Chain A
């Protein structure tokens, strides 16, 4: 049985093939390499960008928290996948309307990914990164939220996720990042400070 809001998948994948330039652009945005690398490079820029050493340490701790949040969110997705895999990818469902539309979209824009559909791993990671960065630097955080949204929408357009997968990814990513940055990492002291000292010793921070 298809998940709730699966009509969105039919609607958005219906645009695929109508404008080749849009398909190309979405293919680029949906890539496993473009937006993730861009987000990581933004984190790297934040890590080094402050001239003042005290401001730098503050932002570096935020970036470190974000990196931990990304790692834990990936783990969270794996745990959800292990215990609950409610529906297959849109191009593998029984409903012929969804299957045909999503199959065409995946073939044109992306590729046939065969790992679980729910929740969207890419969306979870991207929103965990955006939330972590937002807590350290609002302006850059908003930029990363925009990138994360583009990545998620491109994957919906590519017919490899249902809208519910995306929503679950957003919720999981944001919640995990908030927990890691606001609750977990402050309680992990002195380990984050030891890590910072090690990075400084190695001339990396």
Chain B
């Protein structure tokens, strides 16, 4: 049950990230270039995850996944899903120049996901590390 719950949240949150990336303009987290396809993938992931979870087994049974464990699994799943989405998007968008549209104000790590509007997750991390190294030198 715990693993199933983790998979449910992992896949559904991946769908959420794809839909939200459109509205928040987080291009660095997009897995698709075409917005309708990305939206479709997002909805499919959410509906599919819930559909799979509730149709494969009877879920209204005495189970061992208590509230605090549910919270831990949920947080673990959304962070894991964020990282996997970020890495996948970085690989897919690898051809995009990572130095393009670099934010000029403040330190990059202070901007957080604002960086993901113009670069991928891995691109932002590497760029941030490079900048830190330059600053030290």
Name A's B-contacting residues (CB within 8 A).
27-28, 30-34, 36-37, 40-41, 44-45, 48-51, 53, 56, 70-71, 74, 109-114, 121, 125, 197, 199-201, 203-205
Contacts and interface: CB of A to CB of B under 8 A. Distances in A.
Interface of B: 5, 8-9, 12-13, 16-17, 19-21, 23-26, 46, 50, 53-54, 59-63, 65, 67-68, 70-71, 74, 78-79, 82, 86, 109-116, 121, 124-125
A35 to B, nearest CB: 11
Nearest to B61: A111
Contacts of A200: 109-113
A45 B71 CA distance: 17
Interface centre among A30, A41, A51, A114 (most CB of B within 10 A): A41
Chain B interface mostly: helix
14 contacts: A37-B8, A48-B16, A48-B21, A49-B20, A49-B23, A51-B23, A53-B114, A74-B68, A111-B62, A125-B67, A199-B112, A203-B115, A204-B113, A205-B113
A51 B68 CA distance: 32
Contact of A203 (B46, B53, B71, B113): B113
A201 B16 contact: no
A111 B113 contact: no
A113 B115 CA distance: 47
B97 to A, nearest CB: 20
Contacts of A204: 79, 82, 112-113
Given A33-B53, A200-B111, A110 B60 contact: yes
Given A40-B74, A49-B23, A111-B61, A74 B67 contact: yes
